[in-house]
Every structure is written in structure tokens, then in C-alpha cells.
Structure 1
Amino acid sequence: MSDSPFRNVTIVGATGTLGYRIADAFLNDGSYNVKILRRKPENVNAKASSLTERGAKIVFADYSQKDELVKALKGTDVLVSTVKSNQDNNYHSFYEVQLPLLTAAKEAGVKRFIPSEFGSEYQGISHPFSDDKAKFRAEVEKSGLEYTIIFTGLFYEYLDWIGFDIKKKKATFFTDPNLTISTTSLHDVGKYTVESLKIPDARNARIRVAGATLSFNELLKKFEEASGSKWEVVEDREIRKRFREKIDPVPSPN
């Protein structure tokens, strides 16, 4: 049984890649009443149906209508946002997408807000993507609501984004192969999110979790051991040069 002080959790974006794993983790824990907030218009979704069958409640709201959002969030102890910046193939900043949720959460009496952070913590880097997330983090931290901001590093399932091609057994190094990075599986991100509600130190805090922190060379070795074969290795020096000149963070697939 959970020792969390919270019981009612609402998840926004639960039919997405990450949101579904987080909703799954809360349902597996069995200690929470789970509500899934979905954007209107109402439609049938296989993931939503699966979550409903396991006990989640689905509610729909027009995110541009504050009254609808407030009504949908009434009774919520914890609001977990896993929204994407790319909605309906149109780019919307994390700030623009989440600010209505934060405003409604305050009015609805939500106790804790977990924003759609989940990814790398870009320190000392100015980029529209990371700057946008930082802007919303500041908004959350001054909102008056309890909050937990969770950094997880790159999702393990998306290592192909940084050059690991499992099908071709090929690794392309765009940066120093001895550089270390933090990675976390989507499954573990879900579990960490649930556990954060049980940890007093996670209240009004930025927490950092990682399934593994390994260099590119160490990751390559793990892939070779798992596949039982030697991989082809390519070093893209031109991209490495540009990478050193200006790091370009890649959005997490929330």
C-alpha cells in the first residue's frame, strides 16, 4: 500500500508515448484513483480504452476554456503533465501548452503539479527548446502550488537519435565517444514518477534520476554484448565540429 499523502492523480497526455507509461505505472501501483484528461473533441483511442479497462477515468476538456479545465481538475491531488510541444503537427511551446493547465490547477485546488519536463537538464545552454522549458519551470516554481520537476536524461528507447542503429548494428558518433550521458527507460520513468509522491524531499524540488550513466563507448559495448556481434563504428567529424560549436538539444518524445 502506498505511503503517499495523495490519492487522486490526473494525467495529461496519457495516450502519448511517455504519458501512457506513467499512467500504466500509477495503475500498477494500485493506490491511486487515476483520471486521464484528454483534449476535445472526444474520440476513441486504443490506449485510452486500455487504461479505462484497468480502472482509469477519462475526461475531456477544451484546453482553451479555463472553466472546463477547472471542472475537469476538481478533486485532483496531483496533476502530471506529459504534453508535447508538437500538437496536431503544429508547434506550440511547452509554456503555451501548459500555462492554461497550471492556471486551472491553482483554481481547482490541485495540490502538486509535475510539469512535462522528463528529459535532459540543459545547463548553460541557450536554445529555444530548453529556454522554453526553463521559462515554464520558473512559472511553476512561483505558482504557489507544490511541484516536482523530474529530469531523467535521454529515453533509452530513443538511443537511435544519437547514432545507435540496432537493426544495422552500427554506431555513429557525433561527439566524443568518451562523453557520458544519462539514460532512463520509459518504464522506469513511470515508476520514478509514482515513487516521487512518496518521498518528502521531492516536494518543491528538482529531482534527477537515471537508469544508467555511461559513455558512448560503454553504450556501444553494451549493445555489442547484447547482440553478440561486433558493431560498425563511424565518426562523423563534421557534425562533431558543429556540435562543439553549438549544442542543439533534441526534444524528448513526450
Structure 2
Amino acid sequence: MQSFKTIAIAGGTGTLGYYVSEAFLSDGSYKVKILRKKPETVNEKANLLVSKGAEIVYVDYNQKDDLVNALKGTDVLVSILSGFDTYNIQSKMLTVAKEVDVKRFIPTEFGGEYKLGDHICTDTKAKFREDLKKSGLEYTFIYNGAFQEFLGWGGFDVKKKEATFFVDENKIISTTSLSDIAKYTVESLKVPEARNGAIRVAGAALTLKEYLQKFEEATGSKWKVIEDKEVRYRYLNKIDPVPSDADDFKVMALNHTSFEKLDNDKFSFTPRPVTETINELISQAQ
């Protein structure tokens, strides 16, 4: 195993990025650089990370010199970027990473495992994976299913006590908390199988019906269930009128969050129970 000392995190003050940045800082083994997009702006999360020992580096991702200065001396580049331009930005970072001898690139997967052709919104991820594999740079792909903190996006409405099933109620959905995804990312540097490979982890792997049961137990009430069979049918059969972009992506994403085999046993910690996140979601909704 290579010895890594300096970690650069692109998008390290975002929703997941902040947890990943914190996890690397808490580990205490690494120098952590957080890449933020120019121009410089006041950011509470960035200030908190600086107070914990991180260095904030502002970059224009379209300027090669900025990227060279930001990535020089970096051992591991972690990208937690999102948006329509992510493929182009990651491609530019990859070119520079090779030039300045970055040892490993962890791209912005963090979710379901998608292949080319699954959806227009995820095709760029699949395309970049192939680019990275061909680059000669070490890589690790991390798949963790859906974020537990976003179970509301998956159809669970705590305020209304309603569950909308966009896929079959017996479909297994893997979910992981943001804090655990961060821990898996840090520990992946010490897992031999992660070198030039994919890591598949989950904090919970339950059916939609089982997640609903946990929400009902936590709220002490029976929830209304809405089965959006029409959206599901039109998505699966590609029948017009197709679902809205949001619903179309939701069905696709939920259909790609289960894994045949998990790598949880390769890590030193046990992920937090999904009931803890569910209780937090309920508390936030009150």
C-alpha cells in the first residue's frame, strides 16, 4: 500500500464534502487542502474547517495554472463536485493530476452504481470512470446507495406522514449516512481492494416497506402509502408521456441502489443504524 500524506478535496465544503473533509481532519494522519471555486467568498463551513487545520485553496477550474498550484504535492484527490459541468472539471483535474504526480483519484461517484446508458444525468459519471481507468492513475470508486438524510427525496414525507413508492415496495434500497460515507472514504485509503477498484458499502439495505415500518414506529402512527405505478410503468416501458425529469431520475436512481455484495466487512467500524437518521429527520420536521 502506498503512503498518502496530503489530501485535496474538491467540493469539500458542500453537503457531503464537509463530512468528508471533517473525517480526514479527524483522522489526524493527513494534511488536508480544500479546493473552493473562485472568487473568494465568506463561508462558515470553510472557516470551521480552517479552525480544525485545513487549508483552503481557491481555484478557477478552467485555469490550468490554478489547478497545478492547487494540486502540486497532493497524494490523493477526492472530488465531491456536482453539477452539469462536473465531467469537464474532473477531466481537467485528471490531466493536471497526472502532470503533478497525484497518486490516486477518488471521483464523485458516491451514490448508486450506474453504467453508460442508464440515464443522461449519470452518463457523464460512467464516461469519466472509463477515462480515469485509462489514465494510468490509481483510482477508487465508492458506491453507497442513497443518502439516508435524503430519504425524503426518496418518497418519505415526514410532515404529511406519507410514503410515495416510485419503485416496488419490496425493492431493496441501500442507504448510508453522510458521516459514514465520509468514514468509508477515509478508510478506503487503507483497504487493499480499493486500489484500482470499487467499494460498495451501505448503512442499511432494506425494502421500501421496511423503511416505512421504521418511520411508522418512530412516529407512532400509520402512514398513507401512495404507489406511483403510473410513473414507474412509463419509466420502465419508455411510454409517452414520459415522467417529469425529476420523477424519471428518481425511479432510475432508486433502481440502482442495491448491490449484490457489500464491502462493509473490509472496514473497521459499524455504520450507524438508519433509525438514528430517521429520528433526526422526524425531529427536524417538527
Q: Normalising by structure 1, what TM-score? A: 0.91
Spell out the pairing of 1:39-188 with structure 2 (5 A cutoff): 39-85=37-83, 91-92=84-85, 94-123=86-115, 125-188=117-180
Structure 1 residue identity aligned to 2:48: S
Segments of 5+ residues of structure 2 without an aligned counterpart are 239-246, 254-286
Structure 1 residue identity aligned to 2:8: T
2:225 to 226, 233, 238: 233
Structure 1 residue identity aligned to 2:249: P
Contact 2:114 2:126 in 1 (8 A): no
Aligned to 1:13: 11
Aligned to 2:248: 248
CA distance in 2, matches of 1:125, 1:189: 26
Q: Normalising by structure 2, what TM-score? A: 0.81
Structure 2 residue identity aligned to 1:229: S
Deviation at 1:125, TM superposition (A): 4.7
Per the alignment, in what secondary structure is the counterpart of residue 241 of structure 1?
Answer: helix
Deviation at 1:228, TM superposition (A): 2.0
Deviation at 1:42, TM superposition (A): 1.3
CA distance in 1, matches of 2:60, 2:82: 16
Segments of 5+ residues of structure 1 without an aligned counterpart are 86-90
Contact 2:62 2:89 in 1 (8 A): no
Deviation at 1:17, TM superposition (A): 0.5
Per the alignment, in what secondary structure is the counterpart of residue 48 of structure 1?
Answer: helix
Per the alignment, in what secondary structure is the counterpart of residue 120 of structure 1?
Answer: coil
1:200 to 192, 203, 207: 192
Contact 2:115 2:126 in 1 (8 A): no
Contact 2:116 2:126 in 1 (8 A): no
Structure 2 residue identity aligned to 1:14: G
Number of aligned pairs?
244
- Give percent identity, aligned residues only: 59
Rate the CA distance shift 1:136–1:15 in 2: closer, same or farther, 3 A.
same
Deviation at 1:243, TM superposition (A): 3.1
CA distance in 2, matches of 1:30, 1:101: 25
Contact 1:5 1:198 in 2 (8 A): no
Bigger RCO (CA 8 Å, 6+ sep): 1
CA distance in 1, matches of 2:121, 2:53: 35
Which piece of structure 1 moves more, 125-134 or 189-198? 125-134
Per the alignment, in what secondary structure is the counterpart of residue 95 of structure 1?
Answer: helix
Contact 1:61 1:72 in 2 (8 A): yes
Deviation at 1:249, TM superposition (A): 3.2
